[in-house]
């Protein structure tokens, strides 16, 4: 018995030492200024370019675990933050422009899915929030959002939840329809850019592994419409976190099975390229002009791959926590992370070549400035809840993978 207790104590000491070492590693890495970081009050769970604010793509929005939506003008670092309405993390973003009855003006609208099971809407005129509202949406937290056109030239909000449902809403937030694919959770919704305006197509990925698609009917027909999902595309072993269409209309996927994949439209969505990673792949985007595919990984890194060959070209290493999302603005890759920073990486040939060269001769961390420590953070309870959820999701994924292999 004594031997067992001694072993347990040794294990606890080892675990404590390991945890302390990891905290010290992250503290030192947090000092780096790679990617020209912008610090936010809390962990960032989603990022998207808002072309309604600026058609050039100079304005990016982030959804924060602290219940905030923040907008950043990339060229000037001008930052605007919404009032904190949600008392829970925000997970996703979508945008549209239109009339705001409460203010009687045309405005730009930012939608964000939330852990509180609702969708929050912020109406902007310029950089000012002129209206804020929310409406209940799912039986569990909202994981993804999409604003999509209908064949009759209207727009609808489509949401995916951890409850496994896909739901349709008018722009005013009225429930108008739903799909129940029998999935454990809906991870991503994306509009097929090559689908006909007479039958807009939406691709959806789930936490099981499936990728489905369906056509959006006219707004007046959604309520009574019987949605027909296509047979599932089974390219991955488990959760497919993100879907992205490249300039050719092919599909790129990011998965918890530690791969990103390229699926060919002209070959029935068969896998052409597999990009292996050391951990979960959270997001994927492509830069058609230069032929790059960029991935975000749970191992804190952003990777640049050659689209044609699948060869790894460069690894951006500035983040010191899991990278949760990517966006592309011109030649800039925008990455966000659980470390509460947004970072920018240039794909312009001269800049990327310089980054590759500098990676061969890294600067010492001791030469970097100390990280800022006066940022507003989540409460201890909120921090623990967010970490527990992400660890639980990761454990569930690993258990499903293990069961699939048996």
Q: Give pLDDT tens digits for 184-196.
A: 899 999 999 999 9
Q: Give 28-57 pLDDT, tens digit per residue.
A: 888 899 999 999 999 999 999 999 889 999
CA distance 111 to 197: 23
Stretch 318-345: mean pLDDT = 97
CA distance 268 to 248: 14
Stretch 134-155: mean pLDDT = 97
CB distance 100 to 130 below 8 Å: yes
In this predicted structure, the answer to whether residue 371 has a pLDDT above a threshold of 60 is no
CB distance 344 to 35 below 8 Å: yes
Which residue pairs, CB below 8 angstroms and at least 24 apart, start in 169-174?
169/119, 169/135, 169/137, 170/219, 171/96, 171/98, 171/109, 171/147, 173/119, 173/121, 173/133, 173/135
List the structure tokens of 41.
């009050």
Stretch 359-365: mean pLDDT = 65
pLDDT band at 384; cut points 50, 70, 90: low
Q: Which of residues 148 and 80 earns the better pLDDT score? A: 148
With a CB cutoff of 8 Å and minimum separation 6, the contacts of 15 are none
Q: Which of residues 243 and 367 earns the better pLDDT score? A: 243
CB distance 204 to 239 below 8 Å: no
Percent of the chain residues topping a pLDDT of 70 = 83
pLDDT of residue 22: 76
Q: Which of residues 137 and 183 earns the better pLDDT score? A: 137
Stretch 155-168: mean pLDDT = 97
pLDDT of residue 104: 62
CB distance 51 to 74 below 8 Å: no
Domain map (residue ranges) of the chain: 41-359, 376-406
Mean pLDDT of the chain: 87
Domain 41-359: which CATH number of 1.10.3720.10, 3.30.70.120, 3.30.360.10, 2.130.10.10: 2.130.10.10
Closest C-alpha to 110, from 153, 151, 142, 62: 62
In this predicted structure, the answer to whether residue 318 has a pLDDT above a threshold of 80 is yes
Stretch 23-32: mean pLDDT = 84
Stretch 75-92: mean pLDDT = 90
List the structure tokens of 206.
């789930």
Stretch 59-77: mean pLDDT = 95
In this predicted structure, the answer to whether residue 364 has a pLDDT above a threshold of 90 is no
pTM assigned to the model: 0.87
CA distances from 41 to 27, 81, 285, 340, 375 (A): 17, 10, 26, 7, 6
pLDDT band at 394; cut points 50, 70, 90: low
In this predicted structure, the answer to whether residue 365 has a pLDDT above a threshold of 60 is no
List the structure tokens of 171.
């722009």
CA distance 329 to 184: 33
pLDDT band at 101; cut points 50, 70, 90: low
Q: Which of residues 382 and 286 earns the better pLDDT score? A: 286
Residue 125: burial class (beta carbons within 10 Å; 0-12, 13-18, 19+) = middle
pLDDT of residue 226: 86
Residue 183: burial class (beta carbons within 10 Å; 0-12, 13-18, 19+) = buried
pLDDT of residue 15: 59
pLDDT of residue 158: 98
In this predicted structure, the answer to whether residue 401 has a pLDDT above a threshold of 50 is no
Q: Which of residues 127 and 254 earns the better pLDDT score? A: 254
pLDDT of residue 105: 65
CA 343, 349, 350, 356: dihedral to nearest 10 degrees?
Answer: 60
């Amino acid at each position: 018995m004594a031997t067992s207790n001694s072993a347990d104590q040794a294990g606890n000491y080892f675990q404590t030492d390991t945890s302390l070492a990891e905290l010290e590693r992250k503290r030192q890495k947090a000092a780096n200024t790679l990617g020209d970081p912008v610090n936010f009050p809390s962990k960032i769970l989603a990022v998207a370019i808002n072309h309604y604010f600026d058609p050039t793509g100079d304005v990016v929005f982030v959804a924060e675990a602290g219940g905030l939506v923040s907008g950043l003008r990339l060229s000037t670092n001008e930052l605007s933050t919404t009032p904190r309405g949600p008392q829970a993390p925000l997970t996703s973003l979508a945008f549209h422009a239109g009339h705001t009855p409460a203010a009687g003006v045309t405005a730009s609208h930012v939608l964000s899915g939330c852990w509180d099971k609702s969708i929050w809407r912020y109406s902007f005129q310029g950089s000012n929030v002129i209206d804020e509202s929310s409406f209940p949406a799912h039986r569990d937290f909202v994981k993804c959002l999409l604003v999509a056109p209908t064949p009759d030239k209207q727009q609808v909000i489509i949401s995916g939840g951890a409850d496994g449902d896909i739901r349709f809403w008018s722009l005013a937030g009225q429930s108008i329809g739903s799909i129940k694919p029998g999935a454990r959770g809906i991870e991503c919704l994306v509009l097929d850019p090559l689908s006909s305006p007479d039958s807009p197509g939406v691709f959806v990925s789930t936490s099981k592994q499936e990728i489905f698609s369906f056509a959006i009917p006219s707004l007046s027909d959604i309520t009574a419409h019987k949605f027909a999902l296509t047979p599932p595309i089974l390219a991955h072993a488990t959760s497919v976190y993100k879907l992205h269409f490249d300039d050719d209309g092919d599909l790129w996927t990011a998965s918890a099975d530690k791969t990103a994949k390229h699926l060919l439209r002209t070959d029935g969505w068969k896998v052409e390229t597999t990009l292996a990673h050391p951990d979960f792949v959270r997001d994927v985007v492509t830069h058609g002009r230069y032929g790059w595919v960029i991935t975000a990984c749970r191992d804190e890194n952003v990777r640049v791959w050659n689209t044609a060959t699948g060869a790894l070209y460069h690894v951006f290493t500035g983040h010191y926590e899991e990278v949760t999302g990517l966006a592309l603005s011109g030649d800039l890759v925008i990455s966000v992370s659980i470390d509460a920073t947004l970072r920018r990486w240039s794909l312009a040939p001269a800049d990327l070549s310089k980054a590759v060269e500098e990676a061969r001769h890294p600067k010492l961390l001791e030469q970097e400035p100390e990280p800022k420590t006066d940022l507003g953070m989540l409460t201890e309870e909120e921090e623990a809840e967010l970490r527990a959820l992400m660890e639980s999701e990761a454990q569930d994924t690993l258990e499903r993978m293990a069961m699939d292999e048996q």
